[in-house]
Amino acid sequence: MSLLVELSNVGRDFDGGRIVAVDGVSLAIEDDETVAIVGRSGSGKSTILNLVCGLDRPTRGEVRFEGRAVNGRAAWAALRASRIGIVFQNFFLLQSLSARENIEVALLGNLGGARQRRVRALELLAHFGLAERATLRPAELSGGERQRLAIARALANRPKLLVADEPTGSLDVQTSQSVMSIIGNAHREFGTAVIVVTHDEDVAALCGRRVEISDGRIRSDNRMTAMPTPAPTLRIR
């Protein structure tokens, strides 16, 4: 167990200081944790997540990854290409590409040629129960399948950290449970730390730690004494 990401007294303003989205947040996350960030809409959850993966820069304070301060776009881009997997709120799947190609794109820029990318993409699709969907485009997949594809793509480069912003937001209860059990399995099988933003307490309850945000500040930060029992794996349509 070692420190993976550390926010030290981080603040983020918008509109020249009129909006304080994040206000003095200090948060240290170990490489074996699953963390839920909860709070009402507009409380600053997505902004914190963006700061954690360098898609946004703090106005104040510092963000460290694996013990090092990360400076500049290029350094963050390199980290995201190799160490951090991101599942966005609206997936950002490339609509003109097949499921397999969506994963191959994530593997571009890393070692290996087209053949290796294809093999790895097919491996991941099979792992997430999407082997038969490889040639389909996102629009031809169900909501749950799209979500699994987004997670498969985020895990393509075997990241140390998986971040997900409201990954179950648009899904029904059953499908959200399976998405969470997939994320939980990724944690166990890939050894990936997980940070998930959610307003769903059932989703939060599946994580080992619950951080509550309101008005850009941490209101509570609790670790479960024992890891909760994972939800049963349910079939996704």
Ligand X SMILES: Nc1ncnc2c1ncn2[C@@H]1O[C@H](COP(=O)(O)OP(=O)(O)O)[C@@H](O)[C@H]1O
Instruction: List interacting residues with ligand X (CB under 6 A).
Output: 14-15, 19, 21, 39, 41-47
State which residue, 47 or 176, has the beta carbon closest to ligand X: 47
**Smallest gap from residue 171 Cβ to Mg ion (A):** 16
Q: Where are the beta strands (DSSP E) in 103-216?
A: 161-165, 193-197, 209-214
State which residue, 143 or 169, has the beta carbon closest to Mg ion: 169
Rounded to 5 degrees, φ, ψ at 66 are 50, 40
Q: Which residue is nearest to Mg ion (CB)?
A: 46
**Smallest gap from residue 116 Cβ to ligand X (A):** 37
Cβ burial of 67 (10 Å; 0-12, 13-18, 19+) is exposed
State which residue, 43 or 98, has the beta carbon closest to Mg ion: 43
Of Mg ion, ligand X, none, which one sits near residue 21, judging by CB under 5 to 8 A according to partner kind? ligand X
State which residue, 46 or 157, has the beta carbon closest to ligand X: 46
Of ligand X, Mg ion, none, which one sits near residue 92, judging by CB under 5 to 8 A according to partner kind? none
State which residue, 50 or 98, has the beta carbon closest to Mg ion: 50
Residues 6+ apart with CB under 8 A from 127: 152
Calpha distance 144→19 (Å, rounded): 35
Q: Where are the beta strands (DSSP E) in the chain?
A: 3-14, 19-30, 34-38, 60-65, 68-69, 84-87, 161-165, 193-197, 209-214, 217-223
Figure out which of the listed residues 34, 43, 46, 102 binds Mg ion, where binding follows CB under 5 A: 46
Q: What type of residue sits at position 69?
A: A
Beta-sheet strand order (sheet of 84-87): 84-87, 161-165, 193-197, 34-38, 209-214, 217-223
**Smallest gap from residue 172 Cβ to Mg ion (A):** 20
**Smallest gap from residue 195 Cβ to ligand X (A):** 13
State which residue, 21 or 124, has the beta carbon closest to ligand X: 21
The residue range among 44-52, 139-147, 149-157, 218-226 that interacts with Mg ion, by the rule CB under 5 A, is 44-52
CA distances from 139 to 25, 55, 143, 169 (A): 39, 27, 9, 18
**Smallest gap from residue 10 Cβ to ligand X (A):** 13
Our measurement of the distance from residue 172's CA atom to the centroid of its chain's CA atoms, rounded to an integer in Å, reads 19
**Smallest gap from residue 88 Cβ to ligand X (A):** 12
Interacting residues with Mg ion (CB under 5 A): 46
